[in-house]
Structure 1
Amino acid sequence: MLPVHKPTLIAALSLLAGAAAHAQPAAAPSSIYSCTDSRGRNITADRPIADCIDREQRELNSSGTTRRKIEPTYTAREQAERDERARQAQMLASRQTEERRRERALLVRYPSAIAHDRERAEALVQIDAVIKAARQRLGELSDERKKIDDELEFYKGDVSKAPGSVRRKLEDNAQSVAVQNRFIGEQEDEKRRVNARFDEERSRLRQLWAIDAGGAPR
């Protein structure tokens, strides 16, 4: 057997090690980034993609499944606009939720037209009772005024010649009449508001009753 020189053996082993290293495949990247840019191109890379900084990117596992989504990077103005859109959308959703809650409460309170008509009538009866009492008070004040006028006849209708007590009764009577007339006017306005509210409710209830009954709203 021929002797092998030690330097030659070392060189041969180094060559074999280098060949084995070249023969091994390169390690695949642990993550892959994917997106569609502004021109519609599908791009993949082994790092976040600069051309897609303004849009969502996906970080994929080596198996191709999504590991996470990377949100776009916005300017301060874009972020403010985005936040405002989100706020408006949240407000709209809240209003819609509140509207549905009010509609459910309305149906529970007024399951039928009869129930709605009955409550309208009761509300108007209460206002009419208050107006009636005020009108009765006006009648009493009118009687009082006649007595005062009778006293003024002694002074030939000249209020300036009447004693202070008579003048005060006349002033008090006039003020009380003004108060009662103003009060009656306010109650008449309240009747109009009540009727307007019930009319508005009735319009919405017709739709809700139809939907609740399984029909189309009219």
Structure 2
Amino acid sequence: MRVADIIGVDRMRSWGLALLSASAILGANSAWAASTIYSCDDGKGHKLTSDRPIQECLDREQRLLNKDGSHRDTVPPRMNAEEQAVFEEQQRVKQAQEAARKDAVRRDRNLMLRFPNEAAHNKGRVAALDDLRKAIAISEKRVAELQADRKTLMTEAEFFKGKSMPFKLRSRIEDNEATQQAQRDIIANQKAEMVRINALYDAELARLRRLWAGAPLGSVPPAVASGTAPR
């Protein structure tokens, strides 16, 4: 047999297999369709059945039945554009709520791993406040130094009472006062931050106490609305 004839036979075999596969698929689809019956009431007292979705019942539920008449599934009614938009919005809200629930569970789990008991939480609070206390102590020490410098400057300024104070001396006094005020502002800000952190830890502790007592993860409302305790 010639090579060309051999190639021709192989091609015919390939085409034959492809046709058999396609026929098998079509046969399977036809068998499924034949075994499925759509049924509905058209709203006028008529019960309709078909082997495909019933056009007269697209606005209502259609029951999918097996060949023996047993119920297999229910096909929901088709929606118009407005109904579809409402449905999609409901689905979006539902998905957002589920994502928020899972996130709350994750946060609670991490929180309890970080603070397994109240002693661990108190230790975390102390650590969070420690840097602020150190910063306040540094600023207070700086203010004391500036006050001592100002006392020296004012003693020097006494020599010019009733006279024009030298520009350099006046500038040093003004700089001293401005620097003192800046340090006082830093101290006030650090103390305000300490109050904020303590409030956050207080709210977090109240949440943890409920979780430690057995409340399900994700079931306790957020401890605070404006932030979370520092990590």
For the superposition of Structure 1 and Structure 2, which TM-score range results when normalised by the shorter chain? 0.7 to 0.9
What is the CA–CA distance in structure 1 between the aligned matches of 2:72 and 2:111, rounded to whole Å?
A: 48
Residues 62 and 136 (structure 1), Cα distance of their counterparts in 2 relative to 1, 3 Å cut:
same
**When the two structures are superposed, what TM-score results if normalisation uses the length of structure 2?**
0.69
Matched, 1:74 2:69: no
Matched, 1:192 2:195: yes
Deviation at 1:61, TM superposition (A): 3.3
Q: Between Structure 1 and Structure 2, whose CA radius of gyration is higher? A: 1
* CA RMSD in angstroms, aligned pairs only: 2.8
Residue identity opposite 2:100 in structure 1: R
5 Å matches for 1:55-70?
55-64=60-69, 69-70=74-75
Residues 136 and 152 (structure 1), Cα distance of their counterparts in 2 relative to 1, 3 Å cut:
same
**3-state secondary structure, aligned to 1:162:** coil
Deviation at 1:164, TM superposition (A): 1.6
Q: Could you report, residue by residue, the CA deviation over 1:94-139 in whole angstroms, capped at 9, with x for unpaired residues?
A: 0000000000001100001111111112222321111111111110
Asked whether the equivalents of residues 152 and 162 of structure 1 are also in contact (C-alpha less than 8 Å), the reply is yes
Between 90-99 and 66-75, report the one with greater CA deviation.
66-75
What is the CA–CA distance in structure 1 between the aligned matches of 2:62 and 2:100, rounded to whole Å?
A: 33
5 Å matches for 1:1-218?
30=34, 31-35=36-40, 43-46=47-50, 48-49=53-54, 52-64=57-69, 69-156=74-161, 161-211=164-214
What is the CA–CA distance in structure 1 between the aligned matches of 2:162 and 2:86, rounded to whole Å?
A: 77
What is the CA–CA distance in structure 2 between the aligned matches of 1:50 and 1:189, rounded to whole Å?
A: 69
Between 56-65 and 169-178, report the one with greater CA deviation.
56-65
Residues 127 and 42 (structure 1), Cα distance of their counterparts in 2 relative to 1, 3 Å cut:
farther
Deviation at 1:75, TM superposition (A): 1.4
Residues 196 and 35 (structure 1), Cα distance of their counterparts in 2 relative to 1, 3 Å cut:
farther
Query: What is the identity percentage for the equivalent residue pairs of Structure 1 and Structure 2?
Result: 37
The structure whose RCO (Cα within 8 Å, separation 6+) is larger is 2
**Unmatched runs of 5 consecutive residues or more in structure 1:** 1-28
**When the two structures are superposed, what TM-score results if normalisation uses the length of structure 1?**
0.73
Deviation at 1:204, TM superposition (A): 0.9
Residue identity opposite 1:45 in structure 2: T
Between 80-89 and 163-172, report the one with greater CA deviation.
163-172
